[in-house]
C-alpha cells in the first residue's frame, strides 16, 4: 500500500533558497479502517502562506490535526525546524511554536478576551503549578510581561474594546480573531488555520487577509485550510489540493485550478 501511495503523490517543489520551517512527509491518518489522510507530504518556508483546498471529506482537517497533534498519525513524519515532533503532545508542539486554530470556534467561552490571550502566552506561568506556588514573585513579573504583550496584540488587531468581554459574548468574526490573536501571543514559527474566514463578516475579510499577510511577513509559515477560493487566491503563495486523503495537485493558485484532475475532484 505504502509505495503506491507515495508514488501517487506529486513531488512538492520547495521554494529555493530557504529551508522549510515545517516539513510533513508521508503522513497518514486512519479512523478504524477509513484512511482520512493517505501519505501526504508538504513543506512551508518562513514567510510563506500555503493554502490547502479540496472538497468535503478530503482529509484537510485530519491533516491539520496530525500536524498539530490532536490526531495521531499512523505513519509518516512531522518536522518543525530541525525537531521531529511526530510523537509529541499538542502542548509540546505549541511550546515549540506550532500554533493552530480550529474548524469550529474554540475560544474559551467563559473567560474574557484578555484572559484568552494571556492564557495562551509564551511563558504563561499558569501552565505550571510549581512555578505559581514556588516562585510567586517571578510569576508576578511574568504576568506583567504577558499582559503587556496581550495589550499590544489587542491594539494591533484593534480589539482593545473587547478585552473584558467573555468569549461567548463575541460575534463569530471576533471569535476567529481571538483565536488568531491567541496564537500570536506565542510568536509562533508556524500557524495552522482551519477555515479562519467562516463567520467573518465579508467587509472584514479583506482586513483579516491583510493582517495575516502582515503576520507572515514577520517570518512565520502559515498553513491555511479554506473553502473560499477567492480568499485562498488573495492570501496564499502556493496551494495544495487534496482529495480522498491524497495530494492531487500543488503549485500556484492559477495553475492548480486549471488542472483537470482538480476540476473533476471538485465536480464529483
Partner 1 sequence: MSGQLIASIADGVVLAAILAVAAMGFTLQFSLTNVLNLSFGSVMTVGAFVAYLIAVVHLTPWLGIALGGVAGAVTTVVLGRGVLRLYARRRTQLFEMMMVTLGLSLIIDYTVQAISHNNIYGYSVLQGSALEMGPIRVTPVQVGIVILALVVLLATWGALKFTRMGKALRATAVEPGLARACGIPTGRVVLVTWVASGFLCGLAGVVFVISTQSVDYTTGEGFLPLVIAAAILGGVGNLWGAVGASLVMGIVTEVVAGLGQGGYSTVAGFAILVVVLLLRPGAVFGGSEDRQLVL
Partner 2 sequence: MSAWSFYIGTLLIYFAVDALSAISLNLQFGYAGVVNFGYIVFQAAGAYAAAVVVLGKSAGPGSFQQYVFGAHLPFPLDLVVATLAGALLSLAVGLFSLRRMRRDYQAAMLLIVSLIALQVVSADVPLFNGANGLTGVGWPLGQIFGLSAPASPWVYAAWAVGITIVVYVGVVWLSRSPWGRSLRAMRDHEDAASAMGLNITALRLQVFVIGGAIAGLSGGLLVEYIGAWSPGAWGYAETFVVFTAIFVGGVGNYKGVLLGTLLVPIIFLELPRFLPSIGYPGLTDSLQWVAIGLAWMLCLLFRPRGIIPERRARARRLAATVLEPSPIKEGA
Per CB under 8 A, the segment of 52-60, 113-121, 196-204, 254-262 that binds partner 2 is 113-121
SS3 103: coil
Question: Could you tell me the smallest distance in angstroms from the CB atom of residue 168 to partner 1?
Answer: 11
SS3 230: helix
> Binders of partner 1 among 67-86, rule CB under 8 A?
72
The set of cell numbers assigned to 139 is 510569576
Residue among 164, 218, 230, 255 that touches partner 2 (CB under 8 A): 164
CA distance 218 to 235: 15
Residue 158 found at the interface with partner 2 (CB under 8 A): no
CA distance 52 to 168: 29
222 touches 244 (CB < 8 A): no
Nearer to partner 2, 9 or 116 (CB): 116
Neighbours of 223 (CB within 10 A): 27
Q: In what order do the strands lie in the sheet with 49-53?
A: 98-100, 190-194, 221-225, 49-53, 238-243, 246-251
Residue among 74, 108, 209, 266 that touches partner 2 (CB under 8 A): 108
Tell me, residue by residue from 17 to 36, as one string, x for binding to partner 1 by CB under 8 A and - for no binding.
--------------xx----
Helix, strand, coil shares of the chain, percent, nearest 5, are 45, 25, 35
Nearer to partner 2, 164 or 255 (CB): 164
# chain residues binding partner 1, by CB under 8 A: 4
Residue ranges that bind partner 1, judged by CB under 8 A: 31-32, 72, 104
Residue ranges that bind partner 2, judged by CB under 8 A: 68-70, 89-91, 94-95, 99-100, 102, 106-112, 114-116, 118-120, 122, 124-129, 132-133, 139, 142-144, 147-148, 151, 154-155, 160-161, 163-164, 166-167, 179, 182-183, 186
Amino acid at each position: 500500500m505504502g509505495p503506491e501511495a507515495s508514488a501517487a503523490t506529486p513531488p512538492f517543489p520547495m521554494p529555493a533558497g530557504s529551508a522549510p520551517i515545517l516539513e510533513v512527509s508521508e503522513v497518514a491518518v486512519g479512523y478504524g479502517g477509513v484512511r482520512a489522510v493517505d501519505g501526504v507530504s508538504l513543506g512551508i518556508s518562513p514567510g510563506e502562506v500555503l493554502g490547502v483546498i479540496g472538497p468535503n471529506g478530503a482529509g484537510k482537517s485530519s491533516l491539520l490535526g496530525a500536524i498539530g497533534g490532536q490526531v495521531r498519525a499512523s505513519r509518516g513524519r512531522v518536522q518543525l525546524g530541525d525537531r521531529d515532533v511526530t510523537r509529541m503532545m499538542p502542548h509540546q508542539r505549541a511550546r515549540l511554536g506550532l500554533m493552530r486554530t480550529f474548524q469550529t470556534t474554540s475560544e474559551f467561552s467563559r473567560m474574557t478576551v484578555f484572559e484568552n490571550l494571556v492564557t495562551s502566552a509564551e511563558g504563561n506561568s499558569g501552565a505550571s503549578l510549581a512555578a505559581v506556588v514556588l516562585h510567586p514573585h517571578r510569576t508576578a513579573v511574568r504576568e506583567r510581561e504577558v499582559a503587556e504583550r496581550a495589550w499590544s496584540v489587542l491594539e494591533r488587531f484593534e480589539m482593545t474594546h473587547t478585552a473584558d468581554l467573555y468569549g461567548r459574548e463575541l460575534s463569530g468574526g471576533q471569535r476567529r480573531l481571538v483565536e488568531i490573536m491567541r496564537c500570536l501571543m506565542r510568536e509562533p514559527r508556524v500557524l495552522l488555520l482551519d477555515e479562519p474566514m467562516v463567520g467573518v463578516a465579508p467587509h472584514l475579510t479583506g482586513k483579516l487577509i491583510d493582517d495575516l499577510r502582515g503576520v507572515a511577513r514577520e517570518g512565520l509559515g502559515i498553513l491555511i485550510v479554506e473553502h473560499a477560493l477567492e480568499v485562498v487566491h488573495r492570501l496564499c503563495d502556493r496551494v495544495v489540493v487534496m482529495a480522498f486523503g491524497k495530494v492531487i495537485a500543488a503549485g500556484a493558485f492559477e495553475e492548480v485550478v486549471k488542472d483537470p484532475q482538480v476540476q473533476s475532484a471538485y465536480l464529483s
